[in-house]
A and B are shown apart, each in its own frame.
Chain A
Amino acid sequence: GAGVSQTPSNKVTEKGKYVELRCDPISGHTALYWYRQSLGQGPEFLIYFQGTGAADDSGLPNDRFFAVRPEGSVSTLKIQRTERGDSAVYLCASSFGGLGEQFFGPGTRLTVL
């Protein structure tokens, strides 16, 4: 079956703009995770959904970041008033249940000019 997909693959925006990043998890996976990966670093946890609800959003850096998963499948990560420091690859992963192998999407490379 299809793996985790993310759109867009690349996003270039200007400082102060709003962006939305989309993640389509593997069908049937109840858990969905967002990570941010900067060059030379490991994925940094942002938020974890179990179904429609955010089970843990402790990794969101500040209130400019918000994520939703209204129907328990597709998720959108929203970043308001983007800053140059937000530039990174944003990775999404899904798993069947909370404890188990996470399958990663290809990521969205966000560049804030």
Chain B
Amino acid sequence: GENVEQHPSTLSVQEGDSAVIKCTYSDSASNYFPWYKQELGKRPQLIIDIRSNVGEKKDQRIAVTLNKTAKHFSLHITETQPEDSAVYFCAAYDNDMRFGAGTRLTVKP
């Protein structure tokens, strides 16, 4: 089955800096890669996703890149704000969704 690895497990940045979170997946048949943000005690919420026929997608301060050959994808957050502090999960989908273990992002004001 699919195995998703996510790095780093924790990330601390200064407000205004960029943050990058990386994930690798094992199943080459996976074709959908969402990123979820989860605040403490809340449900995961989708922030951006990318499909396997696209290499990069951007939505304001958030971008995701996908390298299908290397089976890895990354989340980039620019101009980070304290409100970006949360746990971020990557996931890979092939008939079912497998999540990474999460990255706890802290943005220091």
Docked-complex contact B101 and A45, CB < 8 angstroms = no
Chain A 32-78 interface residues, beta-carbon cutoff 8 Å to B: 33, 35, 40-45, 48, 55-56, 58-59
Q: Which residue of A lies closest to B95 (CB)?
A: A56
Q: Which residue of A lies closest to B42 (CB)?
A: A106
Chain A 63-113 interface residues, beta-carbon cutoff 8 Å to B: 91, 98-107
Q: Which residue of B lies closest to A48 (CB)?
A: B96
For the complex, would chain A's binding face be called helix, strand, loop or mixed by DSSP majority?
loop
User: Given the interface contacts A43-B44, A55-B95, A58-B96, does A101 sit within 8 Å of B49 by beta carbon?
Assistant: yes
Chain B 1-19 interface 0/1 with A at a Cβ cutoff of 8 Å (1 = within)? 1001010000000000000
A40 to B32, CA, bound (A): 24
A45 to B101, CA, bound (A): 12
Contacts of A101 in B (CB 8 A): 34, 46, 49
User: Given the interface contacts A33-B97, A98-B95, A101-B34, does A106 sit within 8 Å of B43 by beta carbon?
Assistant: yes
A59 to B32, CA, bound (A): 19
Number of interface residues of B (CB under 8 A): 24
Contacts of B102 in A (CB 8 A): 40-42
Contacts of A98 in B (CB 8 A): 95
Quote the shortest CB–CB distance from B43 to chain A (angstroms): 4
A55 to B97, CA, bound (A): 12
Contacts of B98 in A (CB 8 A): 45
Contacts of B93 in A (CB 8 A): 99
B interface residues with partner A (beta carbon < 8 Å): 1, 4, 6, 31-32, 34, 36, 42-46, 49, 89, 91, 93, 95-102
Would you give 26 A-B contacts (Cβ < 8 Å), ordered by A? A40-B101, A40-B102, A41-B102, A42-B4, A42-B89, A43-B97, A44-B99, A45-B98, A48-B95, A48-B96, A55-B95, A56-B96, A59-B96, A91-B43, A98-B95, A99-B31, A99-B32, A100-B32, A101-B34, A101-B49, A102-B34, A102-B46, A104-B44, A104-B45, A106-B42, A107-B43
